[in-house]
Structure formats: C-alpha cells, structure tokens
C-alpha cells in the first residue's frame, strides 16, 4: 500500500515492499474480504436495458470455492493451465479466483481471438481445461481435436454439446468451503501471452506476487485509491493485462467495486453512458479509446460524469489527447507504462504535480527504471536509449513459458529490457520514443512514430492514425501515415496534402508523412495497440496520396 505523501520524492523515497511469505491471489481478493464484510459489493454489471446486477465478496468467495472444488473433482490440479475465454462478467471473476485457489494457472484469452490464435495459445500452454461461453465453445469445436491435452470444456451458457459441462451446474453441485492451496508469492498463478506486435506471442508466466507488485502503481495513477465512493471501470478486455491487472484484480484486493459491461465493439456514447449510470469515479481508458471518445461533442453537457481519476496506458497518449481530456473532461489524466512481463513501472500522479503532456511520468515507488544502452549502462539524461527495469521486482514475470532462451535474451545483467526506446529528462520524467523496431530511419534521422501519430490525431479530420517507415532508395525510409477519418470526412488528395502540411508545420521537415493513405480501420491488438509490423509489410503495396 502507498502511504500518502505531500510530494512525489517523498512517496518514492519512503516506499518499502512487504511481500508476505505465503500469498494466494484467490483468497486475498475474496475470502479475506468475505470474512470481514461478506455483504460488501465487489462487482456491479451494467446492462443497457435492465437494472445493474451486483455480486458481494461473500458470494464471490462461496462461488469460487465451489468452482475450485468442481475443477478439482474433474481432475484439474496444481500447475495445470486453465483457459478463460469470457467477456467481462461475474463468471469470469469467479473462474479466475477459483483457479488461483486451486493452485492452477489461469490463462486469460480474448473472445476476439480467431481459431488460429486460440489454437496457438492453448496448444503452446498445453491447457487442461477452459471456461467459456456459447460463442467461445463454438469457436473451439473445430480445433478441439488438435488439442489433445484439453480434457474439460466448461460453458457459462446452456450446454449445446455433450462433450461440454455447465459452469452453473458445477458450482451448484460442489457448493461448500474449499481449502485453497498454501501458495507462496513465487508460485505460478497466471500466464498472459504477449500481444504479438513484433512476432509470435510468448506466454509470460507470473507468480501470485504479481498482484502485490501492481498495487503501488495502481494507487499512484488513481491518486491514492481507495477514496470514499471510488468505483472503477474499463472498456478493456479482462483477458489483457491492462484490464486484469490494471483494474480488476487490484481493485478487488483493495475493496473498490468494479463495474463490468457486456462485450462489444467500443462505442464512445455507450462508454459515457456507463460512466454516468454506474457513477464511475475511476476509469482506465486506453489512448485509442480516448481518441474515439473525442467524436462525442460536449460530453459533459450531454452526460453527468462524476469522475475523480482517469488512467491510460497501452500506447503513447501524446500531448493532443492529454490536453483534450483536461479541457473537455476536466481531468488531469495520469498516464502509466508497463509491459505484460513487468507492468505499471512508470506513472503520473496529477495530485502531486507529476503529470505533463508528452512524458509518461516517473518511476513508480518500489521500481527501479532507467534508460540504458546496448551494454546495459545507464545513458546520460536526455539521451534516447532502451527503457529497462531492474530485478528483483515483485511485478516482474517468472519467465517465458518453456522458453529459457527468450527469457535470458530479455535481460542484460539485472536489467529487464523492454524493446521500447525512451529518454529521461533531468527531473526524472520519461518520454516514450517508440519500439526499437518501430523507429523510422529517414535521411539519417531516427524518428519515433508516437510524436507523429499524436500530431496527426490533432488534425480536425483525423480520428485515428499510425505512422510507419516505408523503404526508400534515397532516404532509406520515408514516413507513411495510415489515417482513419472522422465521420463525415472524405478522402482526397487535397485532404492528404493538408494533413502533410499540418504535421510539417508543427513538427519538422523530416518528420512529416510523405505518403498518406486513408483506411477504414487500423489493425489493433486486443489491448488497442496498433500492429505496426502489419502496416510496414503492406506499406509498399497500397495506393497512396504521396508528396
């Protein structure tokens, strides 16, 4: 827990880790609260056409006990991997908590995954069981014969196949106390696959301590949460580390009610409506979603919002979006940074004056973050290098699943490398420059795509944009922009020229996009990150409005 301090320097200086010798995520987020306040609300589910549903800590403890017992009776044991292929909802949380109590390893999976993505992860993890709904079960049936270790499929919807079992029937049948395993902080608890932005996904294995490791960063960017009335929501899929570990699990641990909402394509008006009707006080909204929310005019006149804090991460937020949130929503947004392997290690806290447009923020208390060179040496302040996190660190992964080589390559000495380039200024603020493989080399300049994309997002016709390097004989690469226009805007050569001039006049002659291509959508990971390597691959093949 963060003890409130008047300055960031005091907050960082005074923090000390207190990791217990025995710790289990499942009991910590359910039974510990149920023993004290069984009727305390832990989850509220928004329904667009009906009153919201509520779940108490007492109910969460009892139902997760029952499902843990059911999984054990079905042969699932300690260390077995159990997939969770579900949208936000009560069953998703019950399944997670039960798996941790059992000592098995939770394997969060996004419903947006196609058959190939599911097959890769389930096969690589050698999953023993999976909990899903009707949609997920249908997607699994054609590939199940290729998954010899997958012995149990549990569905939260009515069973449509005799090879599947009912989640609700199992919970009812095994109702009663369950003795959770006596786990240590380094015992495996969950495996989250990397987003695959730069290559095949890898399973990042985390111990039970990962939840404790998230607490200081979570409290920092939500300005000493929990405060009276705090209630948190995110549109992010709970299968992503952002939804699961930046919102759901730390909020449950700290006793803050979590709002869930039905799975859907992100809708800005629905996002505002959820925050209004559920009296959301704290939100985690990725940059891509925030940029889409700009399409709603005068949101504070249209919706009654009671927001206290907004956190954002996943992609670089940028000056344009930071200023829009401040001016339009009346909130100083707190950006933060991390990876699936080591999350929330940099952050902002506007309450203490640590939040600026552009930089992500400063190192979170308890984490040692630096900018290093290829040999693992810290570079001078103001110099671009690789963002790195020093081990040991409670939030850091145990390693990649059955991939010792990739795990070893992730480190230079005691520095865990991120593959992300950044620079730290004299005051300790870190600015994201771009992934090492996303940096564009043009006419001898090294150009980070984030600054260009932020500038493009400020153009009145642009809704979303991505910048990549396109091979060029003269300049090595040129900057190419893929642009999604706002509703009502039409592609044209004149608009492409205006967008180029917009960037040229605001950044520099070497950073403006010499080619602009208008697209209906951008390829995104389930966490909302632009998959730039797909855009780089197609850059030379698309029709463009070029200068």
pLDDT in tens, 334-358: 999 999 999 999 999 999 999 999 8
Question: How confident is the model at residue 531, as a pLDDT?
Answer: 82
pLDDT in tens, 260-287: 998 777 899 999 999 999 999 999 998 8
How large is the average pLDDT for residues 495-518?
Answer: 88
Helices 57-73, 90-102: crossing angle, 10 deg rounding: 60
Residue 151: pLDDT band with limits 50, 70, 90: very high
Q: Is residue 212 part of a domain?
A: no
Task: Please give the distance of CA 29 from its chain centroid, rounded to a whole number.
Answer: 20
Least confident of 133-137, 359-363, 466-470, 543-547: 543-547
Q: Is residue 319 part of a domain?
A: no
Last residue of a domain, one of 189, 207, 225: 207
Question: How confident is the model at residue 444, as a pLDDT?
Answer: 60
- Could you give the number of structural domains in the chain? 2
* CB of 201 closer than 8 Å to CB of 121: yes
State the residue range of the domain holding 149: 58-207
Q: Is residue 286 part of a domain?
A: no
Last residue of a domain, one of 187, 207, 227: 207
Question: Does the pLDDT at position 381 exceed 90?
Answer: yes
Q: Which DSSP string do the residues of 495-547 spell out, in sequence order?
A: HHHHHHHHHHHHS-TTTS-SEEEE-S---B-TTS-B-HHHHHHHTTTS--EE-
Residue 544: pLDDT band with limits 50, 70, 90: very low
pLDDT in tens, 17-50: 999 999 999 999 999 999 999 999 999 999 999 9
Where is pLDDT greater, at 460 or 112?
A: 460
* CB of 115 closer than 8 Å to CB of 141: no
Task: Report the DSSP beta bridge partners of residue 232.
Answer: 258, 282
CA atoms within 13 A on the CB side of 395: 30
Residues 6+ apart with CB under 8 A from 437: 198, 419, 533
Q: Is residue 470 part of a domain?
A: yes
Residue 129: pLDDT band with limits 50, 70, 90: very high
Last residue of a domain, one of 159, 182, 207: 207
Supply the mean pLDDT for the chain. Answer: 92
The two structure tokens encoding residue 147: 């998954």
CA distance 395 to 342: 6
Hunting for tokens 């009663």 — which residue is that? Answer: 176
How large is the average pLDDT for residues 375-392?
Answer: 96
Question: How confident is the model at residue 528, as a pLDDT?
Answer: 67
From residue 137, give the alpha-carbon distance in Å to each of 98, 130, 145, 148: 20, 9, 13, 16
Question: Does the pLDDT at position 447 exceed 90?
Answer: no
Q: Is residue 99 part of a domain?
A: yes
From residue 503, give the alpha-carbon distance in Å to each of 31, 324, 445, 459: 54, 18, 16, 9
Where is pLDDT greater, at 427 or 358?
A: 427
Residue 230: pLDDT band with limits 50, 70, 90: very high
CA distance 545 to 482: 11
From residue 376, give the alpha-carbon distance in Å to each of 371, 379, 386, 483: 9, 9, 9, 37
Q: Is residue 7 part of a domain?
A: no
How large is the average pLDDT for residues 360-365?
Answer: 97
User: Would strands 232-233 and 258-260 be described as parallel, antiparallel, or unpaired?
Assistant: parallel
How large is the average pLDDT for residues 407-426?
Answer: 95
Question: How confident is the model at residue 317, as a pLDDT?
Answer: 85
Whether the link from the prior residue into 494 is cis, omega within 30° of 0, is no
* CB of 445 closer than 8 Å to CB of 463: no
Provide the 8-state DSSP code for 146: G
Q: What are phi and psi for residue 134, nearest 5 degrees?
A: -60, -45
The two structure tokens encoding residue 497: 């020229």
Where is pLDDT greater, at 524 or 323?
A: 323
CA distance 478 to 469: 6
Q: Which of 224, 442, 417, 455 is nearest to 339 (CA)?
A: 417
Question: How confident is the model at residue 175, as a pLDDT?
Answer: 92
Residues 6+ apart with CB under 8 A from 7: 352
Residue 64: pLDDT band with limits 50, 70, 90: very high
Q: Is 336 helix (H, G, I), strand (E, B) or coil?
A: strand
Task: Report the DSSP beta bridge partners of residue 445.
Answer: 442
Q: Which DSSP string do the residues of 199-253 spell out, in sequence order?
A: SS--EEEEETHHHHHHHHHHHHHTTSS--TT--EE-SS-TTSHHHIIIIIHHHHH
Question: Does the pLDDT at position 187 exceed 60?
Answer: yes
User: Would strands 411-412 and 415-424 be described as parallel, antiparallel, or unpaired?
Assistant: antiparallel
Residue 362: pLDDT band with limits 50, 70, 90: very high
CATH number at residue 164: 3.40.50.980
Largest CA distance in the chain: 72
How large is the average pLDDT for residues 403-420?
Answer: 96
């Amino acid at each position: 827990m963060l003890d409130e301090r008047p300055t960031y320097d005091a907050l960082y200086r005074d923090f000390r880790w207190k990791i217990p010798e025995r710790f289990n995520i499942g009991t910590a987020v359910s039974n510990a609260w149920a023993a004290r306040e069984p009727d305390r609300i832990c989850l509220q589910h928004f329904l667009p056409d009906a009153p919201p549903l509520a779940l108490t800590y007492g109910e969460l403890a009892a139902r997760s006990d029952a499902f843990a017992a059911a999984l054990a009776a079905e042969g699932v044991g300690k260390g077995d991997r159990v997939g969770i292929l579900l949208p936000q909802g009560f069953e998703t949380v019950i399944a997670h908590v039960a798996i941790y109590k059992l000592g098995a390893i939770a394997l969060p999976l996004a419903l947006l995954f196609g058959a190939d993505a599911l097959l890769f992860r389930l096969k690589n993890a050698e999953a023993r069981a999976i909990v899903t709904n009707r949609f997920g079960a249908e997607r699994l049936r054609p590939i199940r014969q290729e998954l010899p270790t997958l012995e149990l499929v549990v569905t939260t919807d009515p069973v449509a196949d005799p090879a599947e079992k009912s989640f609700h029937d199992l919970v009812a049948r095994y109702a009663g106390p369950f003795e959770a395993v006596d786990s240590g902080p380094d015992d495996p608890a969950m495996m989250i696959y990397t987003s695959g932005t730069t290559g095949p996904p890898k399973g990042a294995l985390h111990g039970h301590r990962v939840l404790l490791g998230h607490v200081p960063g979570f409290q920092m960017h939500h300005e000493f949460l929990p405060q009276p009335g705090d209630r948190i929501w995110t549109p992010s899929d709970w299968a992503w580390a952002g939804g699961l570990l930046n919102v759901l699990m730390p909020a449950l641990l700290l006793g803050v009610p979590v709002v869930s909402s039905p799975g859907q394509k992100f809708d800005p008006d629905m996002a505002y409506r959820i925050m209004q009707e559920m009296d959301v006080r704290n939100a985690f909204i990725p940059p891509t979603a925030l940029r889409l929310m700009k399409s709603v005019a005068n949101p504070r006149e249209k919706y009654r919002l009671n927001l206290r804090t907004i956190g954002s991460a996943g992609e670089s937020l940028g000056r344009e979006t930071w200023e829009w949130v401040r001016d339009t929503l009346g909130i100083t947004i707190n950006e933060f940074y991390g990876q699936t392997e080591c999350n929330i290690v940099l952050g902002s806290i506007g309450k203490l004056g640590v939040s600026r447009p552009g930089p992500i923020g400063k190192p979170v208390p308890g984490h040692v973050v630096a900018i290093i060179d290829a040999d693992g040496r810290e570079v001078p302040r103001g110099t671009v290098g690789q963002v790195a996190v020093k081990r040991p660190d409670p939030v850091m992964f145990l390693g990649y699943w059955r991939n010792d080589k990739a795990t070893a390559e992730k480190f230079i000495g005691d520095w865990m490398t991120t593959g992300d380039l950044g620079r730290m200024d004299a005051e300790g603020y870190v600015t994201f420059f771009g992934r090492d493989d996303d940096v564009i080399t043009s006419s001898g300049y090294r150009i980070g795509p984030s600054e260009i994309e932020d500038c493009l997002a400020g153009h009145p016709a642009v809704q979303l944009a991505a910048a990549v390097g396109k091979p060029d004989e003269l300049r090595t690469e040129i900057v190419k922009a893929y642009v999604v226009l706002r509703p009502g805007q039409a592609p044209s050569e004149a608009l492409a020229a205006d967008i180029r001039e917009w960037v040229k006049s605001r950044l520099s002659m070497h950073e403006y996009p010499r080619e602009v291509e208008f697209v209906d959508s951008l390829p995104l990971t389930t966490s909302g990150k632009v998959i730039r390597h797909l855009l780089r691959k197609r850059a030379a093949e698309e029709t463009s409005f070029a200068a």
